[in-house]
Amino acid sequence: MTLQGEYVPSKADWVREQVAAFEASNGAEANTLRDSGDPIVVITSVGAKSGNLRKNPVMRVERGGEYLAVASKGGAPDQPEWYYNFLARPEVELQDGAVKKTYAVRLLTGAERADWWQHAVDTWSTYATYQTKTDREIPLFLLSPIS
């Protein structure tokens, strides 16, 4: 299913520019974190309040065809805006390179969260540093493909 709504680009220049370059090249360019070789995916969600489509580059954390969206916001004390979108409308589109699919979203807890957190840190160790910067437990969302 294709998400419905008007796309409203991010207010952040770097997000807007990376998403535009990623999409213009069908994921062949702008597919790593700025100034690094660390891979990203682009996730489209529906705004919790606005109903507009929002697009965000996030670190690529994948296992067995499922993806993890880590709501770290660099260790900030508050949640990223997309966190609220995921809770309100738990269906997103994720583009990994040229491949785009629709995913069901759910917030992880308990042992399942601990397992995926370790996988996230093993994939991109900076997440562990982000956790030390904030008192909140960084939320993890599991994205499972919808057939």
Tokens 């990994």: give the residue. Answer: 96
Q: Is 91 exposed, middle or buried (0-12, 13-18, 19+ CB in 10 A)?
A: middle
Give the strand pairing for 62-63 and 53-59: unpaired
Give the pLDDT score at 147: 79
Residue 56: closest CA among 78, 39, 41: 41
Residue 82 has pLDDT above 90, yes or no: yes
Mean pLDDT in the chain?
96
pLDDT at 36: 83
Residues facing 70 on adjacent strands: 140
Pick the CATH number of 13-145 from 3.40.50.10210, 2.30.110.10, 1.10.645.10, 1.10.10.10: 2.30.110.10
Asked if the model's pLDDT at residue 1 lies above 70, the reply is: no
E-strand stretches of 47-129: 53-59, 62-63, 66-70, 91-96, 99-107
pLDDT in tens, 85-134: 999 999 999 999 999 999 999 999 999 999 999 999 999 999 999 999 99
List the domain boundaries for the chain.
13-145
Kindly report the pTM of this predicted structure. 0.95
